Amino acid sequence: MSFFSENLPKVQARIEAALRRSNRPPGSVTLIAVTKTHTPDVVREALAAGLDQIGENKVQEARAKKPEAGDRGVWHLIGHLQHNKVKYVPPLFDWVHSIDSLGLARDLSDRAREDGRRLKILLQINPAGESTKFGVPPDQASALAEQLNKLPNLELRGVMMLAPYYLEVERTRPLFAQLRETRDRVEKETGLALPELSMGMSHDFEVAIEEGATIIRLGTVLFGPRVRAAKATHDEGAE
């Protein structure tokens, strides 16, 4: 039995338990299986197990893996998007979680139009103000959301954050709550419907669910340690 097949039922049980604790209905959280640094075999294994939401941090990894998956799955770019990689995104991804500037979003919308695509996006917010992470400050979120909503080939669906890694996971709870409150405020100020809250990774997803996450991004807890050591950077979208 592989690490994945052994741990998937345990993770699913933890998700449902967190939903019950927060009086939320079963199945109200989308699990993204993050396969960064793993081989295409891991993608195929996840898809075979019914996990059809696949997350990658880097465009180049998706370019290597997606052809082997064929047309299966919904693909999410959860890491920072560089301008020089925008042209590769529309054929590879259905969602981009890490939009934090109007210029980048305009480039992505233009490229999506050329490719005949309309991509779902999330606005990345940095509630902790960490210099090592991307994302806009909460007080700038409404203005940028209104601008993003005008771009014809992008569909703004909600907000995303990367929480600091704390050994005591309860320390993340105020930040998750702050993201939820920021999303609610942006909806009120702009009149936009932003149903998605993408927050929570392998070490803190249960707290994120309790604070309202609708999307969680899980890698290590599903697939085990990364295949190769990866230097910690500010574009990490999941453990």
Question: pLDDT digits over 14-48, tens only?
Answer: 999 999 999 999 999 999 999 998 988 999 999 99
235 lies in some domain: no
> What secondary structure does DSSP assign to 95-131, as a single string?
EEEEE--HHHHHHHHHHHHHTT--EEEEEEB-TT--T
d(CA 95, CA 119): 6
pLDDT-derived band at 236 (thresholds 50, 70, 90) equals: very low
Mean pLDDT along residues 114-126? 97
Range of the domain at 211: 3-223
pLDDT-derived band at 127 (thresholds 50, 70, 90) equals: confident
209 lies in some domain: yes
237 lies in some domain: no
**Least confident interval from 97-101, 129-133, 143-147, 159-163:** 129-133
Whether 216 and 200 have beta carbons less than 8 Å apart is answered as: yes
The CATH number of residue 150's host domain is 3.20.20.10
233 lies in some domain: no
User: How many domains does the chain contain in total?
Assistant: 1
The confidence score (pLDDT) of residue 227 equals 63
Max mean pLDDT among 66-80, 143-157, 221-235 falls in: 143-157
231 lies in some domain: no
pTM (two decimals):
0.92
Element counts in the chain: helices (H) and strands (E): 9, 8
Mean pLDDT along residues 59-86? 92
d(CA 161, CA 204): 13
The confidence score (pLDDT) of residue 71 equals 80
139 lies in some domain: yes
Torsion of CA 53, 59, 63, 68, to 10 degrees: -20
